[in-house]
């Protein structure tokens, strides 16, 4: 009898289209490693933050792209750099603070020092030490500091939002989004200066793609979320549209708030709670803003790394940060605009309670993603179903469709080669 381990099989996407999604797409660690390389580190722009988070020269923010630690920093000339948080000497992640202000970066291990662009400018004992009148040790004569700077990423800023890429040959940020998604991006980030309101952060024990799916899935909000269906913020019968870029990787779910209350659309919806009342009605104190231009909610997914949220007056970015195939950190950055009145700022903060780890709405999403991952791990040979609205991939003028999920996986399959 042979005691050799079986040869691992390459996963195969058995169904002809993307209306069936194999569970191994969420559970296979090798697939996850390929995703990092092909989706986060090559040919894609990834979100790193808002300019408002680093308002002064020397201000920095530590964050991640995929599973690589990076630093966003404002230079003395007011430009923004993004560098990898890995010392060029012995590879240490030298920056430990999440936010701060510096004149330069110093690795604590051997005190190598870098300017704000990531250029190496200081090496202790580079020329050795003097003993008995002679220089001993030190770097070789051909050592050049210019050869040993931090890895610099390509940076794109638009409307106060910062994106970066390890791939210096990536297409322009505008081409990456495409005209349809760019128009919705510019709707939210329209040139007004942004102001930082605060953060939420949670670790969700599920595959990172599940959060992209969640915000490409208009099927669930009016069924899962009691708050949405009861108070009319997001229901299947709201006037709505589903939009995509030409590659189907990015998407926007666009909705206009209905009246709420009981009707034929809520009769068999268990999450609808007719008797639910708010102790503080100000949570539903919504003020229409001119820049909305109609829709009361636009949820954008920019693949692979970020969700841009406008739910009535609450606006935020939601950063997806993978941790292996079965976990990701989810960082919410709530913001406003410099010309907001104090009342509007208070309104944005109040409505932000719908979102985040314990949000009236978003707490539901974290749970269903966790429980979905448990099902995938239990039955990795199985598949999920995404047939609502048919098997095609197309934009719609309604919410009763899983077309955006099918579109994302058509793109995913093309890039991943499965």
Distance CA 224, CA 231 (A): 13
Q: Give the DSSP H/E element, type plus range, for residue 161.
A: strand 161-165
- First-to-last CA distance in the chain? 34
Provide DSSP, 234-254: S-TTSEEEEEE-TTSSSEEEE
Query: Would the pLDDT of 5 be above 80?
Result: no
C-alpha span between 316 and 401 (Å, rounded): 25
Its CATH class, for the domain covering 179-416, is alpha beta
Chain segment 213-223, per-residue pLDDT in tens:
999 998 877 77
Instruction: Give the mean pLDDT of 98-108.
Output: 98
Residue 112 scores a pLDDT above 50: yes
Q: Which CATH architecture has domain 46-155?
A: 3-layer Sandwich (2.102)
**For 318-327, what is the mean pLDDT?**
98
- Percent of the chain having pLDDT more than 90? 79
pLDDT, one tens digit per residue, over 228-278 is: 667 666 556 677 899 999 999 999 999 987 655 445 454 445 555 566 677
3-state secondary structure of 113: strand
* Residue pair 165/38 in contact by the 8 Å Cβ criterion: no
Give the whole-number percent of the chain exceeding pLDDT 70.
90
pLDDT at 298: 96
pLDDT at 119 over 80: yes
pTM of the model: 0.92
pLDDT at 275: 67
Using the predicted structure, report yes or no on whether residue 2 has a pLDDT greater than 60: no
In a 10 Å sphere around its CB, with 0-12 CB exposed, 13-18 middle and 19+ buried, how is residue 182 labelled?
middle
For residue 264, the model assigns a pLDDT of: 47
At 31-51, the pLDDT tens digits run: 999 999 999 999 999 999 999
Q: 16 in helix, strand or coil? A: coil
What are the residue ranges spanned by the domains of the chain? 46-155, 179-416
How much is the pLDDT for 1? 45
Q: Calculate mean pLDDT across residues 321-334.
A: 98
């Amino acid at each position: 009898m042979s005691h050799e381990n079986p040869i691992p099989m390459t996963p195969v996407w058995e169904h002809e289209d993307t209306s069936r999604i194999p569970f191994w797409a969420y559970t296979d660690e090798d697939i996850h490693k390929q995703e990092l390389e092909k989706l986060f580190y090559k040919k894609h722009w990834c979100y790193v933050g808002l300019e408002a988070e680093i308002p002064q020269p020397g201000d920095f923010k530590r964050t991640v792209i995929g599973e690589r630690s990076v630093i966003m920093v404002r230079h003395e000339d007011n430009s923004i750099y993004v560098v990898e948080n890995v010392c060029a000497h012995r590879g240490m992640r030298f920056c430990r603070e999440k936010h701060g202000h510096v004149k330069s970066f110093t690795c604590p291990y051997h005190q190598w020092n870098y300017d704000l662009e990531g250029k190496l400018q200081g090496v202790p004992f580079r020329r050795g030490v003097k003993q008995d009148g002679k220089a001993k040790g030190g770097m070789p004569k051909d050592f050049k500091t210019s050869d040993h700077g931090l890895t610099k990423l390509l940076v794109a800023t638009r409307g106060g939002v910062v994106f970066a890429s390890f791939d210096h040959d990536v297409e322009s940020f505008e081409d990456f989004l495409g005209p349809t998604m760019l128009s919705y991006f510019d709707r939210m980030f329209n040139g007004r200066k942004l102001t930082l309101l605060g953060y939420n952060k949670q670790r969700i024990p599920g595959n990172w793609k599940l959060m992209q799916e969640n915000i490409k899935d208009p099927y669930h909000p009016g069924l899962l979320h009691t708050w949405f269906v009861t108070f009319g913020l997001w229901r299947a019968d709201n006037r709505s549209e589903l939009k995509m870029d030409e590659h189907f990787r990015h998407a926007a779910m666009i909705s206009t708030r209905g009246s709420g209350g009981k009707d034929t659309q809520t009769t068999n919806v268990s999450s609808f709670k007719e008797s639910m009342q708010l102790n503080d009605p100000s949570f539903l104190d919504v003020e229409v803003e001119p820049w909305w231009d109609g829709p009361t909610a636009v949820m954008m997914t920019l693949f692979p790394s970020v969700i841009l949220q406008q739910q009535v007056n609450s606006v935020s970015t939601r950063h997806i940060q993978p941790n292996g195939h079965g976990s990701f950190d989810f960082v919410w950055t709530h913001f406003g605009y410099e010309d907001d009145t104090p009342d509007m700022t208070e309104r944005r903060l109040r409505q932000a309670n719908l979102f985040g780890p314990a949000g009236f709405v978003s707490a539901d999403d974290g749970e269903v993603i966790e429980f979905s991952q448990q099902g995938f791990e239990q039955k990795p040979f199985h598949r999920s179903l995404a047939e609502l609205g048919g098997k095609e991939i197309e934009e719609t003028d309604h919410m009763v469709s899983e077309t955006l999920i099918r579109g994302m996986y058509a793109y995913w399959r093309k890039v991943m080669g499965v």
